[in-house]
């Protein structure tokens, strides 16, 4: 390993360790090469998110003025990374490295950046399709990129679709868990049509008198999550054993977050849903058995929304 590559891998390892304990834990189940590449790609995703939101490692949002300039910076640095040029930012250099090694394209990266653009425009979803469009850009597109890191062929559209399903599932769990935090940051990812169906006044969905309606909508998000989670297992079955184990562990960890939100009902946002170290070990052990057996349940019906509905190449 070159000195520069080793430096970028180490910086990326620190980024994922600080930025996402769940992903960090699951990533250790990959073989060394895949693990390092997952870290490199994560570092770029994390850095883009932090630049877009003027924050540090997913912390509190900073001053949101100048969003367009920050988005332009992300695109400029990403273009330099794909051109093989030094960017002056290790996370973007990490993207350039992993893109070269795994065949990640500028179009794939732009699909992710488009999600930051939605937030920069103070965008809100009107329909379920809009919600899933957002989930695609901020998570589903990342799932497809991660699949390439795990060795999936860029021509294997069905497996890339299933990797995207896992990203959908992760983001739906996040939205259900973080709906009150998002509201405090003046963001809402629940579709307007859902709010209207629940007869909720604009901007009032997190107020105490609407807590039951909020719990009902969170349950709807979790139901969508479970549909995409189940579809993702079909794709995971095609991965090498270590990658399959890691993906199934991550699916179980994030799936549990969503299901815990649903179980808590109206109390789901009294304190933040999270998983303990013991929980992560338990999920990894269960995923090991699942990966060894490798017989995902057949689905009566595939998810309504797919990667091909939203990709810029559609």
pLDDT of residue 21: 79
pLDDT of residue 149: 96
Q: What's the burial of 295, exposed, middle or buried (CB within 10 Å: 0-12/13-18/19+)?
A: exposed
> Torsion over CA of 218, 221, 222 and 226, rounded to 10 degrees?
170
pTM listed for this prediction = 0.93
Closest CA to 150 of 56, 72, 226, 250: 250
Walk along the chain (314 residues) and give the pLDDT tens digit of each residue. 678 899 999 999 998 888 887 778 888 899 999 999 999 999 999 999 999 887 665 555 556 677 889 999 999 999 999 999 999 999 999 999 999 999 999 999 999 999 999 988 889 999 999 999 999 999 999 999 999 999 999 999 999 999 999 999 999 999 999 999 999 988 999 999 999 999 998 889 999 999 999 999 999 999 999 999 999 999 999 999 999 999 999 999 999 999 999 999 999 999 999 999 999 999 999 999 999 999 999 898 899 999 999 986 54
């Amino acid at each position: 390993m070159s000195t520069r590559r080793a430096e970028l891998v180490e910086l990326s390892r620190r980024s994922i360790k600080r930025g996402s304990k769940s992903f960090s834990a699951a990533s250790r189940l990959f073989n060394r090469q895949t693990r390092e590449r997952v870290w490199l790609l994560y570092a770029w995703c994390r850095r883009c998110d932090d630049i877009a939101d003027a924050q540090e490692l997913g912390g509190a949002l900073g001053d949101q003025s100048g969003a367009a300039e920050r988005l332009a910076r992300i695109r400029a640095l990403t273009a330099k990374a794909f051109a093989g040029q030094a960017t002056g930012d290790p996370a973007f250099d990490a993207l350039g490295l992993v893109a070269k090694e795994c065949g990640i394209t500028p179009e794939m990266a732009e699909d992710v950046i488009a999600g930051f653009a939605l937030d920069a425009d103070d965008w809100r979803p009107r329909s379920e399709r809009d919600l899933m469009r957002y989930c695609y850009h901020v998570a589903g597109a990342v799932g497809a990129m991660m699949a390439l890191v795990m060795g999936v062929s860029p021509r294997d559209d069905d497996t890339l679709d299933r990797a995207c399903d896992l990203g959908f599932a992760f983001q739906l769990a996040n939205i259900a868990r973080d709906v009150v935090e998002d509201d405090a940051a003046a963001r809402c990812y629940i579709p307007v049509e859902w709010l209207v169906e629940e007869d909720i006044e604009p901007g009032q969905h997190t107020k105490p008198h609407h807590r039951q309606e909020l719990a009902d909508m969170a349950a709807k998000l979790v139901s969508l999550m479970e549909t995409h989670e189940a579809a993702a297992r079909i794709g995971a079955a095609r991965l090498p054993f270590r990658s399959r184990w890691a993906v199934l562990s991550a699916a179980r960890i994030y799936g549990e977050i969503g299901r815990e939100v649903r179980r808590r009902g109206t109390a789901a946002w009294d304190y933040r849903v999270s998983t303990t170290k013991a929980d992560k070990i338990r999920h990894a052990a269960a995923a090991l058995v699942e990966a060894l057996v490798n017989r995902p349940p057949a689905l009566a019906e595939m998810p309504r929304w797919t990667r091909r509905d939203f990709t810029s190449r559609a």
